[in-house]
Amino acid sequence: MPEATRIFLSPPHMAGTEMAFIQKAFAENYITTAGGNIADFEKELGRLTGAGNAVALNSGTAAIHLALQILGVTAGDEVICPTFSFVASANPILYQQATPVFIDSEPTTWNLCPVALENAIRARLQLGKKPKAILVVHLYGMPARLAEIMQIANQYGIPVIEDAAEALGSAYQGKALGTFGAMGIYSFNGNKIITTSGGGALVTDSTGFVQKAVFLASQAKDPAPHYQHSEVGYNYRMSNISAGIGLGQLTVLAERVQQRRTIYEYYRQALALVTAIRFLPEPPGAFSNRWLTCITLAPDQPVTPDQLRLALEKEQIEARPLWKPLHLQPLFADKLYYGSTVAENLFTQGLCLPSGSALTTTQLERITTVILKQFI
Ligand SMILES: *Cc1c(COP(=O)(O)O)cnc(C)c1O
């Protein structure tokens, strides 16, 4: 029997039109961080999300870094950040020599808990430390509880940055994620719902923020005929080649969201009879792109998430633990944390299943057969 091909967690899925945009860049000889593809990509991303303005960058991490810099986050400032996220949410806070204040998740979305958020803000205010920004993450594509979070942010006058790296195509009450805060960011890394091979974007309705982002992302050049600099800048712009890949990918974004949602539905139905396996339904008002289908396993049954992961691995199927809470990472061992053990329990009980939009029904059957076998 030939060896089964490996099933990856979330591989790139090309539309087929990307090469035409790359050819255009070659024809125009814009093999650089300027050119028509970048302008078109920014315009189309701004239109599709309703954000108005988008700045194409070379990573989502860079976009978070610029958003913090634009809000004036600097050495000694505190920035609120969910503990349940990828390290890239919090690293840019350290780049600014600021301090992350980590907040627990709540169980209906797995994202930032509004109660713990308000407790943290009050506690910091009492110590005379007003948080400079609130970073909200929409993990695995699921919208955070934005109504409550935005209300709290407005009440205390703290600007919000949305890390929608995993949530392009998701919406809350009909409005695209990334467009609620002062700024939103997306990632086009190879494993995200669409890719530019590596890239990111910052979106905002403020043209002032757009100008500042472009300025900082291209080495902060002052307006002068020679090279004149008054502040620190970065080399964060997206390449015109990458933007070409992105233009092809944007044409199929809606289709990719539908495909991922269908995959979630397939898993939910195929595994419905296993009571130990739990899914995360969409709360009212939430529309998730279902970037990754994640499950949690009931703690009082014999199969652990790691046993399940290893059983899948044996069959050449990649599954991954949920994000390890950042306040439990050695890197952030000395940082503040507000909350209890919601995120920690998700980490110990959860597993991300293969969710690539190109998965076939045959592959999904192969995956669910292995999973079902562990529970009989
Ligand atoms: C992928 C990701 C990022 C970083 O995006 P890059 O483009 O890889 O730099 C940030 N936050 C979250 C939640 C992510 O999943």
In the chain, what are the domains? Answer: 18-250 (3.40.640.10), 253-375 (3.90.1150.10)
Give exposure, 63-95, as e/b (b: 16+ Cβ within 10 Å). Answer: bbbbbbbbbebeeebbbbbbbbbbebbbebbee
Picking from 100, 72, 69, 99, the residue whose alpha carbon sits closest to that of residue 234 is 69
| For the chain, percent of residues with pLDDT exceeding 70 | 99
- The span from the first CA to the last CA of the chain, in angstroms, equals 26
Residue 186, token pair as written in the block: 């997306």
Q: Whose CA is nearest to atom 5 of ligand 1?
A: 60
137 CB within 6 A, ligand 1: yes
Give exposure, 294-329, as e/b (b: 16+ Cβ within 10 Å). Answer: bbbbeeeeebebeebbebbeeeebbbbbbbbbbbee
pLDDT of 12 over the 70 cut: yes
- With H, G, I as helix, E, B as strand and everything else as coil, classify residue 293: strand
Rounded average pLDDT over 285-312 = 96
Question: How far is 344 from 223, CA to CA, in rounded Å?
Answer: 49
| For the chain, percent of residues with pLDDT exceeding 90 | 98
Question: How far is 162 from 317, CA to CA, in rounded Å?
Answer: 32
For the question of whether the overall pTM of this predicted structure is more than 0.75, the answer is yes
85 CB within 6 A, ligand 1: yes
CA of 22 to the centre of ligand 1 (A): 24
Best substitution site from 61, 64, 236, 320 to test ligand 1's pocket, by max atoms within 8 Å of Cβ? 61
Mind listing the pLDDT tens digit for each residue in 52-77?
999 999 999 999 999 999 999 999 99
pLDDT of 221 over the 90 cut: yes
pLDDT of 42 over the 80 cut: yes
| pLDDT class of 264 with cuts at 50, 70, 90 | very high
196 CB within 6 A, ligand 1: no
- With H, G, I as helix, E, B as strand and everything else as coil, classify residue 54: strand
pLDDT of 305 over the 60 cut: yes
Average pLDDT over all residues of the chain: 97
89 CB within 6 A, ligand 1: yes
Q: What is the DSSP letter of 107?
A: T
- pLDDT at residue 280 in the model: 98
165 CB within 6 A, ligand 1: yes
| Cβ 56 vs Cβ 42: under 8 Å | yes
Question: How far is 339 from 105, CA to CA, in rounded Å?
Answer: 8
Atom of ligand 1 nearest to the CA of 192: 1
326 CB within 6 A, ligand 1: no
Residue 26, token pair as written in the block: 């070659």
Best substitution site from 85, 89, 142, 322 to test ligand 1's pocket, by max atoms within 8 Å of Cβ? 89
Residue 111, token pair as written in the block: 């994202």
CA of 208 to the centre of ligand 1 (A): 24
Q: Is the dihedral of CA 219, 224, 227, 231 positive or negative?
A: negative
Question: How far is 188 from 12, CA to CA, in rounded Å?
Answer: 10
Best substitution site from 9, 140, 187 to test ligand 1's pocket, by max atoms within 8 Å of Cβ? 187
Picking from 372, 342, 364, the residue whose alpha carbon sits closest to that of residue 139 is 342
Atom of ligand 1 nearest to the CA of 139: 13
61 CB within 6 A, ligand 1: yes
172 CB within 6 A, ligand 1: no
- pLDDT at residue 4 in the model: 74
Question: How far is 18 from 243, CA to CA, in rounded Å?
Answer: 9
Task: Name the β-bridge partners of 87.
Answer: none
| pLDDT class of 144 with cuts at 50, 70, 90 | very high
Residue 82, token pair as written in the block: 């969910």
Rounded average pLDDT over 203-213 = 98
Atom of ligand 1 nearest to the CA of 137: 13
195 CB within 6 A, ligand 1: no
pLDDT of 320 over the 90 cut: yes
88 CB within 6 A, ligand 1: yes
Atom of ligand 1 nearest to the CA of 163: 11
What angle, rounded to 10 degrees, do the helices at 240-250 and 18-28 form? 150
69 CB within 6 A, ligand 1: no
Mind listing the pLDDT tens digit for each residue in 99-126?
999 999 999 999 999 999 999 999 999 9
What angle, rounded to 10 degrees, do the helices at 361-374 and 305-314 form? 130
pLDDT of 14 over the 80 cut: yes
Rounded average pLDDT over 37-59 = 97
Number of Cβ atoms within 10 Å of the Cβ of 147: 14
Phi/psi at 82 (5° precision): -65, 140
- The better pLDDT of the pair 4, 196 is held by 196
246 CB within 6 A, ligand 1: no
pLDDT of 1 over the 60 cut: no
- pLDDT at residue 376 in the model: 83
Give all strands (DSSP E) within 261-369, no chain letters: 277-278, 286-287, 293-297, 336-338, 350-353
